[in-house]
Structure 1
């Protein structure tokens, strides 16, 4: 009979595979999705749909991960994990049947993605805890490394599959998750069992739940809408509603720990931060996610909007080829994940995780040296090394965090760890977009004006210089040249004054990418420098985690302080 630990690993691996495929398949297929629902990227209001489809999923998962993790400790991790599988599958079905187009269709996509996010929160909050419960301490790194392979392999499959399905029918992108979700739901219901014990008799901290979820949602909403134009400004950081949302979110989150100290059954186990391995591992995870969370989207924008068109690829084919050209990063993940996980079982996480984050920091610096028309082998080598570093960090750090906490609190610990990760990923996207939009706002109008003048149409310079930065960025991401739409909207008398050769130049595949490339690369370099700084800072905290901390196995709940049963084992490296 197959040992239960392999059943638990197989099922949680399917869940991770499904959610990771969903993440990158959306990322690579957004051009087909927006064309499918007839969203015009030149319209300034369209940028909000891009942000919400990209970030709404993370907002909702980050807001509820800790809550669901705590509920899992009370009612059972497997029970709520099963529920997550079912909810995620329902969300995928709703996305496939999205009935409308235009603004209403975009709103439906956002809402259905939020449904998926709720299901994903249940899965993310419990998968690492279920694996940790099922495997002995000597095998957890290997198990979590295998689980990481699924996450990263799913990301790779999503990139390729998204590029293929995008050329057939955008609805198929969402259908992929349905059979996997149905299989996982049935399998988890019949095969998974509770092995970690539950905190029965404890109440639910409704006040803490509301304060934490409300604070995080307000904060992430403020960050999201801060990226949208407001009045004459290219971004909305001066919008009173954005400011109020940020202040309200920050205020609630600052008040949260003080409220939790007064709760009999707190949702957020603040005492876990007394465990050095948990604290330093969590900070390292936060900084890594902050550095790495936005890198995939900006590199795909670079490939789809600039590099691929300049190398002769049609706009309709750029999603597929962008996925193909990102394979080296995924390959680095998949290669190093299980190796580092297995090594961490024997030697501990500190050295592996620290070296991994340092490699990521160096790779960011290397990316900042590339021109926009780079040589692909050089680009592929850098992102492969970045993937290796990320894989070297991921499994050991997760193993160290989960090993350090008592069995009864693993649901809460897993939820807290993943909350830090998802919140930082969302903040990373916001930071990268803020930098890019800010730099483009200062440089793109002049670049467009000069380029259109040099193309032989100086009469269009005042019009082209007023293209909203978000529209240009959105167009680049969707592989769409906005010049054709702008020309078609101009008075006939003005367009008639343009020579056929000038029109051909402006509407070619090369003109718009070459025009936006220099200011875009300048913005990317700043983003890469910040990402590198975050990775190196994370490496410092990783090095400070100290010796390996392993919690004693606890089957039944005890009322002693959380530090009981925690022992330190010095790293043998």
Structure 2
């Protein structure tokens, strides 16, 4: 094996470790949020604490989404390996700081949110430059395989984070952050010792105005969409909130200003001309839509499992976060099976067949999920999850390879950042989009169903109506965080204390809430999975229209 052969495998193993760590930490706090908030002395379901909860999850995702383009561009200018190595170090330091939170209450939450943002900066440095490092290191005929392994590991990490969060939260909430410390330290030392610049950094002026308008515009837009899921006034969601509407308009205007700036500066941060390359534009559009659909599926499946299916099958609410992660493993298995295989085959036969075919499978899996009853057979559910993961694995590796191979070598850093921005933005967007769709579906039928069910268990009519008309987001978050929604809604108001013991036992049992809301919840699921199937179909069409295999003319490495 030559020195060059050794280096490319070193680059693959190190960057795969980096993106796995970054993607796992993007989702690990979702499942472990109840343990984290209990650890710092906050009720995660208190209305006053919903903002803390959202920013604990989304702070990392938003920063990772808005910074990757700028950091990819800086990698082109100052060295991709240099930025990547720095990202590993920042990630390790932030993980350590998260695990030693010295505060409690709101101050403890702010400490965690702040260091999650710093951790997101490190994660953005890793994801923005990893694909460019691999594209530099591997020859064209092996690039799809290498990027496939890297990309599928990153995507699988999103779901492995759910399982890891459930397992580690059982030990200690700080263990959720401890796990990244030794990996980050080891990866930092390894990357500084073993990685080298293969591409040639190109000196250029920093586009300060472009960076400012893009980062501010993307952050304001994504944050406004996120706040749209919180209730406002008498509305179930916040889409009528003037601040949300103002943020949406302001974000769009800032991004429009960014596009104007990029056409007028000599050294733009984002190469808009890359969108003239059909393979680049179509591949990124397909990736964005797929990321939105995938993120929405992830959150809806967690709610479905934790709030309904697992309690119906005898699991305590407190244990449902862990078991939800376990029961979603077929999705990860599909990723891991299809990703490397499709990456290898796409090196020989091109990306369009595998990417488009994979998205067709994803679309069919969403249609299959639509046909399942709320209390489904696990094996049918597992088969559909595996098919969805398999289809996403078929799509992701060839699509990444095609996108990265379609651009000139000196623009691979910014191209990698743009690709990661679309993917990370899709994940952040999915929370606002799909939670809003689910809340809209529940708002139409949940109040009447919940009120009638509570009155049947001797809850006074006035109290039942008041509880039933609370924003559906409270019920969703309760199920999402492994808490009995009825126990939370009635217990916080002291309504359970005055009820007969038999009614109290029924209301707080494992089956009352799932059986009561299965109808309204299924209505919401129909909206969510229909939207996801449509997105997957449009993404498949975009992938199909990417043209024949396109590779930028270059010398083989």
TM-superposed CA distance for 1:341, in Å, is: 0.1
What's 1:143 paired with?
A: 146
Q: Does 1:365 align with 2:388?
A: no
1:351-430 alignment, distance < 5 Å: 351-430=353-432
TM-aligned CA distance change 1:192 to 1:233, over 3 Å? same
**CA shift for structure 1 position 496:** 6.0
TM-score between both structures, scaled by the size of structure 1: 0.93
User: Given the superposition, is the C-alpha separation of residues 189 and 208 from structure 1 closer, same or farther in structure 2, using an over 3 Å criterion?
Assistant: same
Deviation of 1:485 (Å): 4.5
From 413, 429, 433, give the equivalent of 1:431. 433
Q: CA deviation at 1:233?
A: 2.0
Is the contact made by 1:31 and 1:477 (CA closer than 8 Å) also made in structure 2? no
SS at match of 1:138: helix
Q: Does 1:551 align with 2:535?
A: no
Q: Contact between 1:73 and 1:411, CA under 8 Å: does it hold in 2? A: yes
8 Å contact kept, 1:25–1:158:
yes
Question: What is the 5 A alignment of 1:390-539?
Answer: 390-459=392-461, 460-490=463-493, 497-539=498-540
The answer for the alignment partner of 2:333 in structure 1 is: 331
Deviation of 1:150 after TM superposition, in Å, equals: 2.7
Q: 1:211-290 counterparts in 2 under 5 A?
A: 211-290=213-292
Q: 1:55 aligns with which of 53, 58, 73?
A: 58
Q: How does 1:201-212 map to 2 (within 5 A)?
A: 202-212=204-214
Matched, 1:541 2:542: yes
Deviation at 1:89, TM superposition (A): 1.2
Q: Distance in 2 between matches of 1:413 and 1:485?
A: 47
Contact 1:451–1:515 (CA under 8 A) maintained in structure 2: yes
Find the residue that maps to 2:550 and give its secondary structure.
Answer: strand
The 2-side partners of 1:486 and 1:242 are apart by 27
Question: Which shows bigger deviation, 480-489 or 62-71?
Answer: 480-489
How far is 1:155 from its partner?
A: 4.0
How far did residue 283 of structure 1 move?
Answer: 1.2
CA RMSD of aligned residues (A): 1.8
Q: Which residue does the alignment assign to 2:88?
A: 85
Q: State the 1:41 CA deviation.
A: 4.2
| 3-state secondary structure, aligned to 1:551 | coil
Contact 1:47 1:474 in 2 (8 A): no
Question: How far 1:552 moved relative to its partner?
Answer: 2.7
Q: Which residue of 2 aligns with 1:560?
A: none
Q: In 1, Cα distance between the equivalents of 2:158 and 2:65?
A: 20
Q: Higher mean Cα deviation, 325-334 or 438-447?
A: 438-447
**Cα distance between partner residues in 1 of 2:59 and 2:526:** 26
How many Å separate the matches in 1 of 2:33 and 2:445?
A: 26
CA drift of 1:555 comes to: 10
**Aligned position for 1:342:** 344
Q: How does 1:175-214 map to 2 (within 5 A)?
A: 175-200=178-203, 202-214=204-216
Which region of structure 1 is more displaced relative to structure 2, 531-540 or 231-240?
A: 231-240
Post-superposition shift, 1:20?
2.4
Structure 1 unaligned blocks of 5 or more:
557-573
Q: CA separation of 1:24/1:245 partners in 2, compared to 1, >3 Å: closer, same or farther? A: closer
- Deviation string 1:76-126 (CA, Å, 9 cap, x unpaired) is 000000111111112211211122233332222222211111111111110
What per-residue deviation string (whole Å, max 9, x for no partner) do you get for residues 150-189 of structure 1? 3245345433332221111111011111111111111111
Separation in structure 1 between the aligned mates of residue 150 and residue 493 of structure 2, nearest angstrom: 54
Q: Check the 8 A contact 1:196/1:555 in 2, yes or no.
A: no
2:110 corresponding residue in structure 1: 107
| Shift in alpha-carbon separation, 1:548–1:470, aligned structure 2, 3 A | same
**Structure 1 residues 58-67 or 39-48, which shifts more?**
39-48
Q: Secondary structure at the match of 2:504?
A: helix
Residues 497 and 4 of structure 1, relative CA distance in 2, 3 Å threshold: closer
- After TM superposition, the score normalised by the length of structure 2 is 0.95
Task: Indicate conservation of the 8 Å contact 1:87/1:115, yes or no.
Answer: yes
CA distance in 2, matches of 1:469, 1:126: 41
Q: 1:296 aligns with which of 281, 295, 298?
A: 298
Asked whether the equivalents of residues 363 and 533 of structure 2 are also in contact (C-alpha less than 8 Å), the reply is yes
Alignment map for 1:11-160 (pairs within 5 Å): 11-160=14-163
**Which moved further from structure 2: 49-58 or 398-407?**
49-58
Evaluate the alpha carbon distance shift between residue 104 and residue 470 of structure 1 in structure 2; reply closer, same or farther with a 3 A threshold. farther
Contact 2:60 2:120 in 1 (8 A): yes
Whether the 8 Å contact between 2:152 and 2:397 is mirrored in structure 1 is no
Are the aligned partners of 2:26 and 2:60 in contact in 1 as well (CA < 8 Å)? no
Aligned partners of 1:167 and 1:317 also within 8 Å: no
The answer as to 2:203 corresponding to 1:166 is: no
Encode CA deviations 1:11-37: one digit per residue, 9 max, x unaligned.
Answer: 101101211222332232223223333
Summarize the Cα distance change of 1:276–1:243 in structure 2 as closer, same or farther, 3 Å threshold: same
* Aligned residues of 1:408 and 1:554 also touching (Cα < 8 A): no
Contact between 1:406 and 1:554, CA under 8 Å: does it hold in 2?
Answer: no
**How far apart are residue 444 of structure 1 and its match?**
1.8
Partner of 1:22, secondary structure, is: helix
Superposed displacement of residue 406, structure 1:
1.0
